[in-house]
A = this chain, B = another copy of it.
């Protein structure tokens, strides 16, 4: 990967089970322009509170992230621990503490094992450059079954640049945001205001459009760092370069978000829910999320049962404006219902065949206006229950 000016490091701090890397560092050789979004949960983990405070300066040079412990619901000690971690790291790296972001993911309510974490920090600093994006991706995993990365190349005014990202998350996935960490790095030079605007739009179409179980975590963080090491002329305003960069950023975030859904705890299916014909986009998203979060709809997907009535029922209670006699539904290109009623036995057979696929698209049209939204979700399987019933043991 040709991402310039960033280095990675991962070590084992014995926070997770033995033999698994659980402490990672992203280091930019120069201070990078940084923007981030955080969980909307009122109960925010200490590292989230600390990172929110620091991101206001608009720059970051290092990110330290541990997996295995969320440092959430840990009271004032949690904040003391988060601060100490970044202070020690800043000393080791020789940077201002303000430029160090911190993330944690894992079990809630257990204090960080600071003795082990402290002991591991020197090797983390020392190891800069030894890790790859892939090993970084593996080190931030919790219940994830595969590491998640996405890389795209672009060019601006003759200089080529890279947008690369990694994410973790599998359950507790719900917009605004999920138990999800996502770190997106680019060596492109981008005007800070533009970067912020493009980033937030891309997050809305990706990480804020996925849901697995409707649970919003205490620790979600999505961070973007742009360090300008590609040496391109700074991308600004409404230029073709800005449009091209926006497209790449969108692609990387959506790629990562879809990987999270595909790794949804126990998921056997990837389902795109397209909601059209709503009175506005907000109503469309409300209805799409109600369908995507319905346990009854999701178990029907798992059972490969074309139980379309449950989808209309979910739309009906979503709070979106709905006229039951105008509802239409498709599984891929098979029309299952129109004008609120069933399309017939032929549709049943063809719709069931679509549900046997590993990936499918459910389109619901409300027939009222031009509002639309797309969200991505998984089914609800026996394995989801198993994974979450025994998570801490």
Contact = CB atoms under 8 A, between A and B. Distances in A.
A307 B216 CA distance: 16
Interface stretch (A94-102, A107-115, A222-230): A107-115
Contact of A108 (B70, B313, B388): B313
A360 to B, nearest CB: 16
B73 A340 contact: yes
A40 interface: yes
Nearest to A74: B341
Contact of A389 (B174, B299, B317): B299
Interface string A312-323: 111111001110
Contacts of A75: 325, 339-341
Contacts of A44: 316, 324
A183 to B, nearest CB: 22
B296 A172 contact: yes
A302 interface: yes
Contacts of A108: 307-310, 312-313
A84 to B, nearest CB: 18
A317 B173 CA distance: 12
Contact of A313 (B217, B296, B382, B388): B217
A42 to B, nearest CB: 4
Interface string A338-357: 01111000000000000000
A72 interface: yes
Interface string A101-145: 000000111100000000000000000000000000000000000
A300 interface: yes
B382 A73 contact: no
Interface residues of A, number: 66
A62 to B, nearest CB: 27
Given A73-B324, A341-B74, A43 B313 contact: yes
Nearest to A171: B296
A112 to B, nearest CB: 13
A321 B43 CA distance: 11
Interface in A191-231: 213-218
A386 interface: yes
Contact of A392 (B41, B307, B316): B307
A388 B307 CA distance: 10
Interface in A340-388: 340-342, 380-382, 384-386, 388
A109 B342 contact: yes
Nearest to A338: B75
Given A215-B295, A215-B313, A322 B172 contact: no
B309 A72 contact: yes
A302 B390 CA distance: 9
A269 to B, nearest CB: 12
Contacts of A107: 309
Interface of A: 40-44, 70, 72-75, 77, 107-110, 171-172, 174, 213-218, 293-296, 299-300, 302-303, 305, 307-310, 312-317, 320-322, 324-325, 327, 337, 339-342, 380-382, 384-386, 388-393
Given A42-B324, A73-B340, 15 more contacts: A41-B316, A42-B322, A43-B322, A70-B309, A109-B342, A214-B294, A215-B317, A216-B316, A216-B317, A295-B388, A299-B384, A305-B389, A305-B392, A305-B393, A307-B392
